[in-house]
């Protein structure tokens, strides 16, 4: 009878410990998910600012088209500036939509999968809104000068071709740096590059989800 009482006491203790562990996991998960949500807010509002940035380019393009340009080189520059404005808005909208679709009531694995979509959208947005500046400054300069009736290509074509060459070298340098940071022994450089490519907010949110997943595995 004493052995039976001991077994019942042990089972009760195990249930209490499991219940306490489940409560701790739930509390820890809630805290980490709330922190991840706060971490992504600056990224969300940053994309909203990018939309206004894209709108500014569309307004610039509208002012440019109102001058009814005739030179082919200037028209090509205007198309590039116009396309950039549209691209900024679309890319920012994709990131904001992906963040909005994050369902924090789902499992950690599901949240991580949706966060990966945010990450992919952000990388695409970085390419559209960031890397293109290696070349975009050339058509932007052409458009601004065209507004005061100056054709840069007709007056100083070497500025355009030289600027495009510099942009090509700069882009090649960035690609080389990215590849170099992937090599073993360059962990610090890799983290620095990842912060630039992926974004600090996304990396921090991913780390918080990884902590939840590890805590759940240890508690199981």
Average confidence (pLDDT) per 10 residues, the chain, 220 residues:
61 65 66 80 90 96 94 95 95 91 78 84 86 94 94 94 95 88 82 76 77 66
Q: Which two tokens stand for residue 136?
A: 């975009």
Q: How close are the terminal C-alpha atoms of the chain, in Å?
A: 32
Residue-level pLDDT at 28 = 67
In this structure, what DSSP letter does residue 101 have? T
In this structure, what DSSP letter does residue 1 have? -
Residue-level pLDDT at 220 = 58
Prediction pTM value: 0.80
Nearest of 13, 21, 2, 35 to residue 201 by alpha carbon: 35
3-state secondary structure of 188: helix
Residue-level pLDDT at 106 = 73
Domains of the chain by residue range: 2-219
Gap between the Cα atoms of 130 and 88, Å rounded: 10
Residue-level pLDDT at 31 = 77
Gap between the Cα atoms of 218 and 220, Å rounded: 6
Residue-level pLDDT at 143 = 96
Residue-level pLDDT at 15 = 67
């Amino acid at each position: 009878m004493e052995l039976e009482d001991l077994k019942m006491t042990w089972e009760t203790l195990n249930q209490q410990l499991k219940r306490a562990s489940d409560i701790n996991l739930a509390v820890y998960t809630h805290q980490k998910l709330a922190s991840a949500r706060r971490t992504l807010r600056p990224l969300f509002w940053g994309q909203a600012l990018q939309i206004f940035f894209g709108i500014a380019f569309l307004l610039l393009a509208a002012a440019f088209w109102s001058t009814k340009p005739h030179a082919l080189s200037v028209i090509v520059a205007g198309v590039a500036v116009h396309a950039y404005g549209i691209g900024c808005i679309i890319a920012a909208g994709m990131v904001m939509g992906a963040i909005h679709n994050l369902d924090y009531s789902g499992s950690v694995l599901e949240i991580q999968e949706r966060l990966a979509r945010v990450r992919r959208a952000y990388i695409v947005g970085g390419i559209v809104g960031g890397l293109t500046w290696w070349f975009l400054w050339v058509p932007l300069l052409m458009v601004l000068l065209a507004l005061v009736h100056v054709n840069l290509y007709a007056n100083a074509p070497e500025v355009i071709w030289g600027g495009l060459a510099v942009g090509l070298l700069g882009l090649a340098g960035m690609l080389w740096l990215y590849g170099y940071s992937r090599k073993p022994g360059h962990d610090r450089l890799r983290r620095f590059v990842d912060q630039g490519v992926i974004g600090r907010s996304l990396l921090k949110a991913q780390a918080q989800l990884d902590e939840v997943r590890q805590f759940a595995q240890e508690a199981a």
